[in-house]
């Protein structure tokens, strides 16, 4: 028995929600360890869709403990709204099944405003990153700048004025420089005091809670948001998110030691998608790209933005396998490829006339890198709902085996539809 970390191996949107839900039945605790409410999971259970953006996927399963770790930046208004939305779908969330780290950073209204102001300015100058305008980046900036308001600060409103003053010293100077009106001390104090009593019942010393549960033998499932290629250090910088999305962050973002992580499962889509700006070597602008987007329903769970689509990039996923220490992958959306005459897989790039086996870190070089493809025969038969290898066409199996070889990691699970039971299990990560 081992704990399991689930990470996206591409630019996010790989279908982590279904896999985490599938695994959550085997887990006792599900921990969200980074990011904010700028990315989401869609779970389909008994025909009902649950859209989550901040809450761990385990909240929809009775008897599971959901935990939001210290690596997450939390918009308290978004958290409470999501709890209320799920309540309308019959999912009851209480302090008994949801715990929130006392040392997690809060996203405030001024963070959301600053995010939008910057993105608007960047649009005018041609340097747009493509953020979701939800305040994620500015909140992480304040965390690193040691001026953030944290969940635990809501428990002592008498000490908040000085902390708010320190925060506003930075933000108001920045807003003046951007030609924006200042934020008042009273407005932030009112914002914090209005949500304190509703958030505090969920607060806990998460690292201690998890350590005690681990020692009792609890199975812990760690889930992140976004994907490895959006990691602040290892992604396609500057077109990345504001946190570390790699598996190592599961330890730092929950307060557990690296030795407690166990099996690293990389969620990998059978083709490639990306939302927002930034390099995308295998992006398709033809009818195949349109086919993938339409058949795969490629729209963001949180934003509704249309995703860019392209061929599978084995070179990038191979990089993710290395930076995460991926043990095995869950290959999703294989069924979207049904019906194509041929399939291409990127195995490397050409740059300045030379072939390279990885995407360079330089933004300028990323823009110049051209994909090197191999071509495989497609299949006409349907893979939708396949639950064992024998149900798959021979060419589909060949495609999967080629992916395994090129990325240097085996397939542990294979997903053939959004339904959780339409999954071919090769290796149970919890039993590995």
Main-chain phi, psi angles of 156, to 5 degrees: -140, 80
Main-chain phi, psi angles of 105, to 5 degrees: -80, 140
Q: Is 421 a catalytic residue?
A: no
Instruction: Classify the C-alpha dihedral 65-68-70-76 as positive or negative.
Output: negative
| Token pair listed for 306 | 């249309």
- CA dist 5 to 187, 222, 298, 394, 408, Å? 39, 5, 25, 31, 18
d(CA 273, CA 414): 18
Residues 6+ apart with CB under 8 A from 371: 281, 282, 311, 313, 346, 348, 349
Alpha-helix runs per DSSP H in 30-135: 76-88, 109-125
Beta carbons of 73 and 36 less than 8 angstroms apart: yes
List beta partners, residue 393: none
Q: Is 41 a catalytic residue?
A: yes
Active-site residue (options: 37, 41, 77, 234): 41
| Token pair listed for 124 | 């005018």
Beta carbons of 3 and 262 less than 8 angstroms apart: yes
Main-chain phi, psi angles of 404, to 5 degrees: -55, -45
Strand arrangement of the beta sheet that strand 203-204 belongs to:
203-204, 98-101, 65-68, 29-32, 220-223, 4-8, 263-269, 328-332, 411-415, 423-425
d(CA 170, CA 114): 12
Residues noted as catalytic: 13, 41
């Amino acid at each position: 028995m081992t704990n399991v970390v689930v990470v996206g191996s591409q630019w996010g949107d790989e279908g982590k929600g279904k896999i985490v839900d599938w695994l959550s039945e085997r887990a006792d605790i599900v921990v969200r360890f980074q990011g904010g409410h700028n990315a989401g999971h869609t779970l389909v259970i008994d025909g009902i869709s649950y859209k989550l953006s901040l809450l761990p996927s385990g909240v929809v399963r009775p008897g599971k403990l959901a935990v939001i770790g210290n690596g997450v930046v939390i918009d308290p208004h978004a958290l409470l709204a999501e709890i209320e939305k799920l309540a309308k779908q019959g999912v009851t969330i209480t302090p008994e099944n949801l715990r929130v780290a006392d040392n997690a950073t809060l996203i405030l209204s001024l963070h959301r405003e600053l995010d939008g102001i910057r993105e608007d300015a960047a649009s005018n100058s041609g340097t747009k990153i493509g953020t979701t305008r939800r305040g994620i980046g500015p909140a992480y900036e304040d965390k690193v700048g040691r001026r953030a308001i944290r969940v635990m600060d809501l428990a002592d409103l008498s000490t908040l004025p000085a902390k708010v003053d320190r925060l506003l010293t930075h933000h108001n100077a920045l807003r003046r420089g951007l030609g924006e009106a200042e934020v008042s001390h009273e407005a932030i104090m009112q914002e914090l005091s209005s949500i304190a009593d509703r958030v505090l019942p969920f607060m806990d010393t998460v690292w201690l809670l998890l350590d005690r549960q681990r020692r009792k033998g609890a199975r812990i499932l760690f889930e992140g948001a976004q994907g490895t290629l959006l990691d602040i250090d290892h992604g396609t910088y500057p077109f990345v998110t504001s946190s570390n999305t790699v598996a190592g962050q599961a330890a730092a973002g929950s307060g557990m030691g690296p030795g407690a992580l166990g099996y690293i499962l990389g969620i990998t889509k059978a083709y490639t998608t990306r939302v927002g700006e930034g390099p995308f070597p295998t992006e398709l602008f033809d009818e195949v790209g349109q086919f993938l987007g339409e058949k795969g329903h490629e729209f963001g769970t949180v934003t509704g933005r249309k995703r860019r689509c392209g061929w599978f990039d084995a070179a990038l996923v191979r990089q993710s396998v290395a930076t995460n220490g991926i043990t095995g992958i869950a290959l999703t959306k294989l069924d979207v490829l049904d019906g194509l005459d041929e399939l291409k897989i990127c195995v490397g790039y050409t740059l300045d006339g030379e072939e390279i086996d990885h995407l360079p870190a330089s933004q300028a070089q990323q823009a110049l890198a051209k994909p090197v493809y191999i071509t495989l025969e497609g299949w006409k038969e349907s893979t939708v709902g396949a639950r064992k290898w024998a149900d798959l066409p021979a060419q589909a199996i060949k495609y999967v085996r080629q992916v395994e070889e090129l990325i240097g990691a085996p397939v542990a699970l294979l997903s053939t539809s959004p339904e959780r039971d339409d999954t071919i299990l090769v290796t149970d990560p919890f039993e590995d």
